[in-house]
Amino acid sequence: MKPSLFGYRAPKTLDEAITMLASDADAAVLAGGQSLLPAMNFRLANPSLLIDIQHVEGLRGISVEKDRIVVRAMVRHREFELDPAVRAANPLIHEVMQHVAHVPIRNRGTVVGSLCHADPSAEMPLLLTLLGGSVIAQGPQGRREIGAEEFFTSFLSTARRQDEIIVEARFPTPRAGAGAAFDEVTRRHGDYALAAVGCVLTLDAQDKAATIQLAASGIADKPLRLKGAEALLKGSALATGDLDAAVKASLPLVTQSDEANASVSFRRRALGALIRRMVVKAAERARSGSPQ
């Protein structure tokens, strides 16, 4: 299929882009286009105007700061994946990025675009949620920061106002000594996850979990922090019984309905297996002093 008729504008400044967006309630922002254009071809999205931000000044580049990595709106997935400073600051990012679609798509798609698309099975929303990151939205009323758990509201939905552009995403860097791990269950490599889990943790002198962050995607209408499991595992020795309790607390969060590729029962089994594996792997990495 082909998209319905639409207008096209390519502003050079952010103020221009915001003015265009605010003037048309059915306008959409185009960055990499790897999610939006297929949706338009299937008539799942029908914007009246595409505002292409690839020429807007100030929307390119990655900044590795003391406690976070700032990714601006036109940073491609592949750039984020291969940046040596990013990998040194947070090796988990490189691990996660290798699961995002395929290289041709990563060459065009943008990190912030994936966050704005907000597919509940995609890797970027999970990563931002896991790390406790945020996005910066800019519109006619100025700039505001939105935390990941508030930003993702439901399936393909976010807290971005229609007249706002997400100009950057902020990914916190892990604490010193942290271990991290990520994996997902898919039908094929590059597909969206049927279930995915990420874990970041630190250990204390008694080899117990001093801090722990767990998040999952593919199981509900948005990525979720597994807060019940985090509470049970914090301060524990991460023994088999501890992991069993964490899994039991997390299974009710699976609310995706049965569909052709996976049943609720399958997703629950996959989630449980991933929680156990990712916590153990993250702990092993923390002990070895290698975050990845």
Tell me which residue has tokens 């509900």.
220
Mean pLDDT, range 27-46, rounded to an integer: 94
Least confident of 39-43, 150-154, 199-203: 39-43
Tell me which residue has tokens 């630190």.
202
User: pLDDT band for position 30 (50/70/90)?
Assistant: very high
Q: What percent of the chain shows pLDDT beyond 70? A: 99
Report the pLDDT value the prediction gives residue 289, as an integer from 0 to 100.
Answer: 82
Report the pLDDT value the prediction gives residue 261, as an integer from 0 to 100.
Answer: 85
Q: Where are the alpha helices (DSSP H) in 132-263?
A: 148-151, 227-233, 240-250
Interatomic CA distance for residues 162 and 27, integer angstroms:
8
Backbone angles phi, psi at 111, to 5 degrees: -60, -50
Residue 292 pLDDT > 80, yes or no?
no
Residue 188 pLDDT > 80, yes or no?
yes
- Give the pLDDT confidence of 262-285 residue by residue, as tens digits: 999 999 999 999 999 999 999 999
Residue 290 pLDDT > 80, yes or no?
no
Mean pLDDT, range 155-159, rounded to an integer: 97
Report the pLDDT value the prediction gives residue 260, as an integer from 0 to 100.
Answer: 84
> CATH top-level class for 62-172?
alpha beta
Q: What percent of the chain shows pLDDT beyond 90? A: 96
Q: Where in the chain is the domain with CATH 3.30.390.50?
A: 179-288
Query: For all residues of the chain together, what is the average pLDDT?
Result: 96
Where b means 16+ CB within 10 Å and e means fewer, 61-94 reads ebebeeebbebbbbbbbbbbbebeebbebbbbbb
Mean pLDDT, range 40-66, rounded to an integer: 96
Residue 244 pLDDT > 70, yes or no?
yes
CATH number assigned to the domain covering 179-288: 3.30.390.50
User: Is the dihedral angle over the CA atoms 8, 9, 10, 13 positive or is it negative?
Assistant: negative
Q: Where in the chain is the domain with CATH 3.30.465.10?
A: 62-172
Interatomic CA distance for residues 266 and 254, integer angstroms:
10
Interatomic CA distance for residues 16 and 37, integer angstroms:
22
Mean pLDDT, range 38-48, rounded to an integer: 94
CATH number assigned to the domain covering 7-52: 3.30.43.10
Residue 51 pLDDT > 90, yes or no?
yes
Report the pLDDT value the prediction gives residue 225, as an integer from 0 to 100.
Answer: 98
Helices 240-250 and 264-288, axial angle in degrees (round to 10): 140
User: pLDDT band for position 291 (50/70/90)?
Assistant: low
Report the pLDDT value the prediction gives residue 2, as an integer from 0 to 100.
Answer: 87
Q: Is 292 exposed, middle or buried (0-12, 13-18, 19+ CB in 10 A)?
A: middle
- Give the pLDDT confidence of 55-104 residue by residue, as tens digits: 999 999 999 999 999 999 999 999 999 999 999 999 999 999 999 999 99
Cβ count near 190 (within 10 Å): 13
- Give the pLDDT confidence of 107-134 residue by residue, as tens digits: 999 999 999 999 999 999 999 999 999 9
